[in-house]
Amino acid sequence: MTRRVIAQGTFDILHPGHLHYLSDAAALGDELHVIVARRENVTHKAKPILPDRQRRDMVDALSMVTEAHLGHLEDIFVPIERIQPDVIVLGHDQHHDPEGIRAALRARDIDCEVTRASGREPAYEGELLSTGRIIDRILAVRDDEAESESSDGAPQ
């Protein structure tokens, strides 16, 4: 019998933390289905920069992922009902309440386990495990470069 696992997230800019999360999730079953949140549904943090389909396509290209799906616009449980998972794996730092998810699954007669992936510490100094921190670093480096160019008298 095939054991299906679901992971979900925004996956705006893929980074080693995402790979760790998805590897943890994949290790719990035979198939890993990943639900990529639609931009309109992201309300707990900054909206993704990359388009929905691009984020889905990037996740789908990862070797541990069986299939990546876009989330449903109105009801986050629609893809879960379609996939019929045995396990839903939440990211170690995701805002979701596991007990609230379990209750919603029971109300829909979906029988599956809900667990959390382990966290991952940076493997070396400067390794970024957060999309927000990657974006902050890009902005800081670009600002530093722009200041350096303007102080050197180089044309902007």
pLDDT per position as a tens digit, 56-113: 999 999 999 999 999 999 999 999 999 999 999 999 988 889 999 999 999 999 999 9
Mean pLDDT confidence for 17-44 = 96
**What percent of the chain stands above pLDDT 70?**
97
Q: Which residues are annotated as a binding site for ATP?
A: 10-11, 15-18, 93
Residue numbering of the annotated binding site: 10-11, 15-18, 93
List all residues 6 or more positions away from 121 whose beta carbon is below 8 Å from its beta carbon: none
Is residue 74 left, alpha or beta, with left meaning phi > 0 and alpha meaning psi from -120 to 50? alpha
Higher pLDDT, 37 or 148: 37
Give yes or no for a contact between 37 and 64, defined as CB atoms under 8 angstroms apart: no
| Whether the predicted model's global pTM rises above the 0.85 cut | yes
